[in-house]
Amino acid sequence: MPSKSNEGAKEDTDGETAKVCKAPLVTEPARKRLNQRQIVDYKEERRSLLTWLRDIGKNPSRGKGYASDTVYNRAYRIDAFYRWVWEFEGAYTTTLTTDHADAYCRELLAGDYSDNHRANTQKALKSLFKWRQYQRGGDKWEPTITLTGAPPSRQPKDFFEKDERTALREAALEYGTVPHYNSLSADERQTWKRHLAQRFGIPVEGVNADTFERANGWKIPSLVQATLDGGLRPKEVGRARVSWVDTDNSVLRIPPEDATKSNDAWTVAIRPQTSQALQRWIGERECYDKYSGTDRLWLTRESNPYGSTSLNRLLENLCEQAEIDTTHRDLSWYSIRHSVGTLLTNERDLEAARVQLRHQSRTTTMKYDSVSTDDRRDALDRIG
């Protein structure tokens, strides 16, 4: 009979992922992110953690571990946290701090997640830091916020006012722009070439006039303007596809398979300026190799779909450029969505906001849009 320390653990000889309590030590998203050496290191990190949770993690002093199903569920939530830290830090690391955990919880609170997901993720992080403290003498984590899923805390308290929305639109048009290639002297051009080489991760000698045009492209303006109109969730920005965009009718058509938190198709009104920005970006994106073979509307510099972390960093830069005061304000990408709902409700009514933000009623499901896209587009013009 196998000992408890080996029960539920498996190392496949054909190179497949080892498992503890049926949870892979290296998940597929992590495997795609890491090189071979990092995979080996991360695998051993996870093996130590998951076997500890299974054997004694619940009550170390009594040698009592968690049930297999609990280990399995927490393993995936903890893996998502590790990957978030890697994106946040821009590199692989197993040095996780309590500041990381607090920042991650703030993103969960601001994002479009269920109450249970928030609460269960925080439990998983508590068990992770309990392991780190027990095994390595790490810091004890006392969360700065408690994710209990209380309804009043589902969204950020702060949102962007009408004048701030206008400032964000204008900042997006200026974001990352550089002088025209032919307007620069040889010395100035070389300085900008070094800047763009670092920005795009290419050799200096590879920077040319086309690179300058790329720096002044329409990706960021189209992304920001579409979010200001449609209140796009971070997941929706990541999922957005070229096929959503209907520039002839100035709408985004989100099919059921791409919808977030529903199984319905949605027609989202956008302003003519946004439609034009999207049309320009769709033409421009065809010039970039990383979009070859994918219908993704926007990808990060690293060729990944956008997520909460990358979007919040972008928003922070836009706020700085727009000189929006963020002091003592709880602002995140989700605050743009919150502003659409708040201001559109004031300009039109709750039903217009409900349909524009793709909210489903808890008691009824609307089978058609009772507020026309033209009416909602007019309201978007008024709120800026």
**pLDDT for 279-300, tens place per residue?**
999 988 888 888 999 999 999 9
- pLDDT score, position 223: 97
Work out the percent of the chain whose per-residue pLDDT is above 90: 50
State the distance between the two ends of the chain, measured CA to CA, in whole angstroms.
Answer: 69
- 233 and 276 assigned to the same domain: yes
Question: Residue 7 has which token pair?
Answer: 């029960």
- 222 and 339 assigned to the same domain: yes
Boundary (domain end) residue, out of 136, 170, 193 = 136
- 115 and 174 assigned to the same domain: no
- 191 and 331 assigned to the same domain: yes
68 within some domain: yes
Mean pLDDT of the 30-50 span: 95
Using 50, 70 and 90 to split pLDDT, how confident is the model at 270?
Answer: very high
Work out the percent of the chain whose per-residue pLDDT is above 70: 88
> Is there a contact between 344 and 376 (Cβ–Cβ < 8 Å)?
yes
> Is there a contact between 105 and 125 (Cβ–Cβ < 8 Å)?
yes
Measured at the CA of 264, the angle between CA 277 and CA 165, to 5 degrees, comes to 35
> Is there a contact between 281 and 217 (Cβ–Cβ < 8 Å)?
yes
Number of neighbouring beta carbons within 10 Å of residue 145: 13
Q: Using the 8-state DSSP alphabet, how is residue 366 labeled?
A: -
- 196 and 336 assigned to the same domain: yes
Res 362 pLDDT > 70:
no
3 within some domain: no
- 166 and 131 assigned to the same domain: no
- 206 and 303 assigned to the same domain: yes
| Domains in the chain, number | 2
> Is there a contact between 74 and 127 (Cβ–Cβ < 8 Å)?
yes
7 within some domain: no
Report the CATH number that the domain containing residue 242 is assigned in CATH: 1.10.443.10
- 130 and 223 assigned to the same domain: no
143 within some domain: no
Using 50, 70 and 90 to split pLDDT, how confident is the model at 217?
Answer: confident
The most distant pair of C-alpha atoms in the chain lies apart, rounded to whole Å, by: 78
Res 200 pLDDT > 60:
yes
- 314 and 190 assigned to the same domain: yes
- pLDDT score, position 350: 67
> Is there a contact between 384 and 169 (Cβ–Cβ < 8 Å)?
yes
52 within some domain: yes
H or E segment to which residue 9 belongs: strand 9-10
Q: How do beta strands 23-24 and 266-269 pair? A: unpaired
Q: Which of 10, 89, 70, 84 minimizes the C-alpha distance to 43? A: 10
CB burial of residue 117 (10 Å; 0-12, 13-18, 19+) = middle
Q: Read off the pTM.
A: 0.57
Using 50, 70 and 90 to split pLDDT, how confident is the model at 149?
Answer: low
- pLDDT score, position 157: 57
Q: Which of 300, 308, 83 minimizes the C-alpha distance to 199? A: 300
**Higher model confidence: residue 137 or residue 172?**
172
Query: Domain range for residue 23?
Result: 19-136
370 within some domain: yes
**Higher model confidence: residue 284 or residue 318?**
318
- 295 and 208 assigned to the same domain: yes
Sheet holding 9-10, edge to edge: 9-10, 19-20, 23-24
- 175 and 39 assigned to the same domain: no
> DSSP of 47-64, one letter per residue?
HHHHHHHHHTSSBGGGTB
- For residue 245, what are the β-bridge partners? 252
